[in-house]
Chain A
């Protein structure tokens, strides 16, 4: 039964556009799905390697801007009068370049910032995201700054023999996002259940012990950062081509917080956690908007966040698993084992 659970969930979700006709709710599903992809990528770092990166939105935003700029084209003058002109490319190329560029940024940031740990790591990652945001805000020639990049084309895909797909409608975008969610689920699942995943968990549980048995800590951390950043970039690209407009606000700290709270609520270090948490937090605004102003929604959101950390620090998925007494296999190696009480 447990083996089929992801398939049942996938089928149930795939049926949604068939019976749901309300465009607002469908839109909520799509944006939630995009954030679930981002939250899943964050979970790889936070849940499996135990590194809290609060700059994750940087990769999301870099993906969004890369993809948008590749498909819109740009004309920029760099320092020293050197001019770069880029003609618009097909959108699917933008999607892959978004993954590539975000992954590369993940590599650089990972290489540099994994020299420090704990609170320092958190602050370096935030700083990185804020610097990228300020660049997006101020490099008006490239990014249009606060005026935003507009009329970003939807993702199109030409398949030989099958014709030409255009992800313009909400329905098609829903399936596109669902496909990316499923693909990310598989990729992350394969990764964390492999040797690499076990190494990551080992260094989360006890870094010095992991080093002593010969695990190259920095290598695995950087690897996790690259994969994680790449997937976040893909999510960013989907976001840009779905909304068709992006501004420097995609780099806001609150988006990172949203991703983190999705992961924590669902259960960090579980494959299903970000999806469960993501659905909950994706639909809180939908429910809350009927009776609360945006500020009030955020206040509730903040209290909810505090409450979750107090009441369910391990998250919903591990709590359910414990409740039904089901075992390890679906959860990935050692994701949520009770940690030894640390003495402070």
Chain B
């Protein structure tokens, strides 16, 4: 149960990042899972190898995800502005292959673990016991989700992003700097993915394959929640975590990862607009 909430909250982070990029830029970001893995590796790098404070490492990893996202946007996506969705998709698949194998090349195939400053003894409340680390991860993820909401709904940048989502050309006419919005969107989306990785990495282990399935899971979450809907992505994250736990518990643990794909297929066949999309808008 607690496991489900932790997974759900980090899945929601992944999903929100992807839904922003997909919704605003119309880019199917196959490298999203690799940014997630990047976040996890960065925490490992800063906290374990450089010996920084754990919480500071988390912040640095999120910031690094943001910078990497901006870099990808400027180098790979900006020149292809206006290209159709299949073309950018191929570029992002190329980026995914490069990033994944670079991780494998640099860090090797062996999984790494990140130690944390939290006490080993779990927190016991009545019949429940939960480790401090997991509790922290859950609340940190919730805080980041809330921050994303605030950013989109309450700030000037968020308003410009919402306007771009609704109608790019009109937004540009109203003086919105579309290039800057795209770059901001991709960096924010990337940093959310990196944050999810940075938070989950210490809970499990960090391995080069972790990004593989994360991209597809993020797609599942976005499709569940409806394109461009942040609220939908949040709920979608929890639904996916729930479905996976149920699938692992009642069918077979080997089919845990199949649940996301089955959900995608079912949702797209029966309700292609997603479960929570009222209309195509963001926020």
Give residues in A with beta carbon < 8 Å to B. 52, 112-113, 115-116, 118-120, 122-124, 126-128, 130-131, 134-135, 137-138, 253-254, 257, 260-261, 264, 293, 295-296, 298-299, 301-306, 309-310, 313, 342, 344
Interface stretch of the complex, out of B9-17, B38-46, B89-97: B89-97
A119 and B95 contacting across the interface, CB-CB below 8 Å: no
B89 and A305 contacting across the interface, CB-CB below 8 Å: no
4 extra interchain contacts, Cβ-Cβ under 8 A, other than A134-B254, A306-B91, A309-B91? A123-B28, A127-B262, A134-B258, A309-B94
Closest B residue to A298 by beta carbon equals: B101
B90 and A130 contacting across the interface, CB-CB below 8 Å: no
**A313 to B94 Cα, complex, angstroms:** 14
Please name all residues of chain A whose beta carbon is closer than 8 Å to the beta carbon of B269 when the two chains form the complex.
112-113, 115, 124
A134 and B257 contacting across the interface, CB-CB below 8 Å: yes
Please name all residues of chain B whose beta carbon is closer than 8 Å to the beta carbon of A119 when the two chains form the complex.
22, 28, 85, 89
A127 and B261 contacting across the interface, CB-CB below 8 Å: yes
Number of A-B pairs, beta carbon distance below 8 Å: 118
Please name all residues of chain B whose beta carbon is closer than 8 Å to the beta carbon of A127 when the two chains form the complex.
216, 220, 260-262, 264-265
**A118 to B258 Cα, complex, angstroms:** 23
Please name all residues of chain A whose beta carbon is closer than 8 Å to the beta carbon of B91 when the two chains form the complex.
305-306, 309-310
**A298 to B99 Cα, complex, angstroms:** 10
Please name all residues of chain A whose beta carbon is closer than 8 Å to the beta carbon of B261 when the two chains form the complex.
126-128, 130-131, 134
A120 and B90 contacting across the interface, CB-CB below 8 Å: no
Closest B residue to A124 by beta carbon equals: B268
Give residues in B with beta carbon < 8 Å to A. 22, 26, 28, 76, 79-80, 82-87, 89-91, 93-98, 100-102, 104-105, 168, 212, 216, 219-220, 223, 252, 254-255, 257-258, 260-262, 264-265, 268-269, 272
Closest B residue to A305 by beta carbon equals: B94
**A342 to B85 Cα, complex, angstroms:** 12
Please name all residues of chain B whose beta carbon is closer than 8 Å to the beta carbon of A264 when the two chains form the complex.
90
Central interface residue in B100, B102, B216, B261, by most chain A CB within 10 Å? B261
B102 and A299 contacting across the interface, CB-CB below 8 Å: yes
Some 17 contacts from A to B, beta carbons below 8 A apart, are A116-B272, A123-B223, A124-B269, A126-B216, A126-B219, A126-B261, A128-B265, A134-B261, A257-B97, A296-B101, A302-B94, A302-B95, A302-B98, A304-B94, A305-B94, A306-B91, A306-B98
B154 to chain A, nearest CB (A): 29
Please name all residues of chain A whose beta carbon is closer than 8 Å to the beta carbon of B212 when the two chains form the complex.
253
B18 to chain A, nearest CB (A): 11
A120 and B94 contacting across the interface, CB-CB below 8 Å: no
B105 and A293 contacting across the interface, CB-CB below 8 Å: yes
B87 and A130 contacting across the interface, CB-CB below 8 Å: no
**A44 to B85 Cα, complex, angstroms:** 19
A300 to chain B, nearest CB (A): 9
B97 and A302 contacting across the interface, CB-CB below 8 Å: yes
- A130's contact among B95, B96, B216, B223, by CB below 8 Å, is which? B216
Closest B residue to A254 by beta carbon equals: B97
Given contacts A115-B272, A120-B268, A122-B89, contact A302 B255 (CB under 8 A): no
Please name all residues of chain B whose beta carbon is closer than 8 Å to the beta carbon of A128 when the two chains form the complex.
261, 265
Given contacts A112-B269, A128-B265, contact A309 B97 (CB under 8 A): no
B262 and A131 contacting across the interface, CB-CB below 8 Å: yes
Please name all residues of chain B whose beta carbon is closer than 8 Å to the beta carbon of A301 when the two chains form the complex.
97
A210 to chain B, nearest CB (A): 18
Please name all residues of chain B whose beta carbon is closer than 8 Å to the beta carbon of A295 when the two chains form the complex.
101-102, 104-105
B101 and A120 contacting across the interface, CB-CB below 8 Å: no
Please name all residues of chain B whose beta carbon is closer than 8 Å to the beta carbon of A299 when the two chains form the complex.
97-98, 101-102, 105
Please name all residues of chain A whose beta carbon is closer than 8 Å to the beta carbon of B93 when the two chains form the complex.
257, 260, 305
Closest A residue to B260 by beta carbon equals: A127
A302 and B265 contacting across the interface, CB-CB below 8 Å: no
Closest B residue to A120 by beta carbon equals: B268
Closest A residue to B86 by beta carbon equals: A52
Please name all residues of chain A whose beta carbon is closer than 8 Å to the beta carbon of B265 when the two chains form the complex.
112, 124, 127-128, 131
**A109 to B26 Cα, complex, angstroms:** 25
B227 to chain A, nearest CB (A): 9
- A138's contact among B79, B86, B255, by CB below 8 Å, is which? B255
Closest B residue to A118 by beta carbon equals: B85
B98 and A296 contacting across the interface, CB-CB below 8 Å: no
